[in-house]
Structure 1
């Protein structure tokens, strides 16, 4: 092994040491992960795996989404096929009825998911929509051993309190991108609106879930910024999405990602948010492709099945991937 190789390897191991000691990487150190040569990806992942293994061993948390309300959204998020400015040919429907939402919980268990995510498009839930979700959550909690994550948009204090009382364990509201890049992606609400919703959720006693979308024209510096911002927000679960550029959306031509860079991003998030659930989320199959298994050396959570308006790979393939790695599905990960 050459002297330069030893130096490179030691650098990533020092980053792992800092993460395990509770120290945050400097901006320069964080940038070096994203800017590293592709030949260093395995060494970076090995160091990230040390941190992942310390907190989560070889267990993998599985999550399943139900698209509880599709399209019909007044917001102008440039990445989203459900936004008012999207021309993507997606199915559109109002909030699913309680029985359909409850039935989805059975499917989540069949896919060995420990977390069932009820996701609805829109700026925020109407009173009727909130009631529908609350009734479904109450019934699911009586019948099934599942963690429930709701994602219904911007909330106020009363809405957050009612969801907590109904039994919602976790609430997802992604920051999506750094504050400095936010105005390039969305104009109908602000970055601060998103932060405020996460804070309201925390105040209500619900576990906060907030993540990002990588590949929307942000710089390396802005990727580092959002990683720091999510660390400061103290989100328990951090979904890392990789843009799947959907035809009919403003970002349909944005194709700047490759699997090696995606792996570096996941390692970066593990170094900066070492004890948090890092979930490889939307765009996993499209952007990581044949390198999907390597993502689990940094991340400890994935979605199984389809996403909101795009298809995922079969749950059986995810189960096989985890088995082939020698990892273990953490069923009913409460």
Structure 2
């Protein structure tokens, strides 16, 4: 049995991965990657079998954001040529749910740019969610920015199942990426979501200058927050943003990160999210030996690959799409 398999056995017995062991995964020679992914798959299959959960995003409000996040094409410091528009109306958001079903997605993600949603924005989204959940079995994830207790409760009452608010980067790297809000602001919103009874979703964007120690500590922070879903994004450097010149991560490095997130958060949904096509490239299928979830279709302002390609990729692996909404 390889040392990676022994680590997987340790994790499945309920022990926590030590920092030294985590760094060994990230720093392993590339010829060890298949063994690492095999061990990660042992954990993944224990909790999720060969099921893959599909998620689809609608960009419900684009651009016009006062925050200065260096990675984001929608931020106030971005010159990226993106479409900008206010919150979509309820009817348009509802129509997007049918597209999610067509793509075999079980979760429909309603995402809006901005620091925090206005009361009107919350009501528009809540009204759409109420209609969608009456007529489909889609699960709804919302990502609207910072929340207070009142807004979180309104979304929960409307039927929002999950709320996404990413940590985005390590606490010590945060100020180099954004200065218009703090790391603690992001943690507080995740805790507000948990307090409202909505399932918390929070992850990171890797490839923004983190050290290996910080990558490990991000995984631990997410474990300590006890979030249910962890989107693992890899920076897609967009022209016109402050991070436009950042180089993509190497595909094998991305696989090691995905494996590490599975080792640290064994029973949680690990979703390969933004930037997978750019960073993992031809190795995208291997990522599903650690992750059990992906986005299908386009992201917020960048293109994803065709849904049919993702469906075929899952089929070719011998995996199954988790049952979608009716």
**TM-score band, normalised by shorter chain:** over 0.9
Give the match's secondary structure for 2:105.
coil
Equivalent position of 2:104 in the other structure:
112
TM-superposed deviation, 1:314: 0.3
Give the match's secondary structure for 2:282.
helix
Q: Distance in 1 between matches of 2:41 and 2:32?
A: 14
TM-superposed deviation, 1:256: 4.5
Within the candidate set 72, 80, 85, 2:72 is matched to 80
Give the match's secondary structure for 1:180.
helix
Equivalent position of 2:134 in the other structure:
142
Q: Distance in 1 between matches of 2:134 and 2:296?
A: 24
1:71 aligns with 2:63: yes
1:219 aligns with 2:211: yes
TM-superposed deviation, 1:127: 1.0
Q: Distance in 2 between matches of 1:53 and 1:215?
A: 27
TM-superposed deviation, 1:331: 2.0
1:276 aligns with 2:259: no
TM-superposed deviation, 1:180: 1.2
Equivalent position of 2:177 in the other structure:
185
Scaled by the length of structure 1, the TM-score of the pair is 0.96
Q: Distance in 1 between matches of 2:45 and 2:231?
A: 18
Within the candidate set 113, 117, 134, 1:121 is matched to 113
Question: 1:172-227 CA deviation, whole Å, 9 max, x = no partner?
Answer: 00001111111111110011101110101111100000000000011111111101
The answer to whether the 8 Å contact 2:57/2:110 transfers is yes
Equivalent position of 2:315 in the other structure:
323
Identify if the C-alpha distance between structure 1 residues 333 and 296 changes in structure 2 by more than 3 Å, giving closer, same or farther.
farther
Equivalent position of 1:14 in the other structure:
6
Q: Distance in 1 between matches of 2:21 and 2:3?
A: 9
Q: What 5-or-longer segments of structure 1 have no aligned partner? A: 1-8
Give the match's secondary structure for 2:67.
coil
The answer to whether the 8 Å contact 1:170/1:206 transfers is yes
Within the candidate set 74, 84, 100, 2:92 is matched to 100
Q: Distance in 2 between matches of 1:22 and 1:274?
A: 9
Give the match's secondary structure for 1:163.
helix
Equivalent position of 1:309 in the other structure:
301
> Relative to structure 2, which stretch is displaced further, 21-30 or 243-252?
21-30
Within the candidate set 1, 9, 28, 2:20 is matched to 28
Within the candidate set 54, 77, 80, 2:46 is matched to 54
Scaled by the length of structure 2, the TM-score of the pair is 0.99
TM-superposed deviation, 1:17: 1.2
Q: Distance in 2 between matches of 1:183 and 1:223?
A: 16
The answer to whether the 8 Å contact 1:278/1:299 transfers is yes
Identify if the C-alpha distance between structure 1 residues 299 and 81 changes in structure 2 by more than 3 Å, giving closer, same or farther.
same
Q: Distance in 2 between matches of 1:265 and 1:249?
A: 24
The answer to whether the 8 Å contact 2:70/2:242 transfers is yes
Question: 1:102-148 CA deviation, whole Å, 9 max, x = no partner?
Answer: 00000000000000000000000011111100100000011111000
Number of residues of Structure 1 aligned to a counterpart in Structure 2: 326
The answer to whether the 8 Å contact 1:76/1:83 transfers is yes
Equivalent position of 1:252 in the other structure:
244
1:230 aligns with 2:222: yes
Give the match's secondary structure for 2:171.
coil
TM-superposed deviation, 1:11: 1.4
The answer to whether the 8 Å contact 1:62/1:331 transfers is no
Q: Distance in 2 between matches of 1:320 and 1:157?
A: 42
Give the match's secondary structure for 1:13.
helix
The answer to whether the 8 Å contact 1:61/1:333 transfers is no
TM-superposed deviation, 1:23: 1.4
TM-superposed deviation, 1:333: 7.6
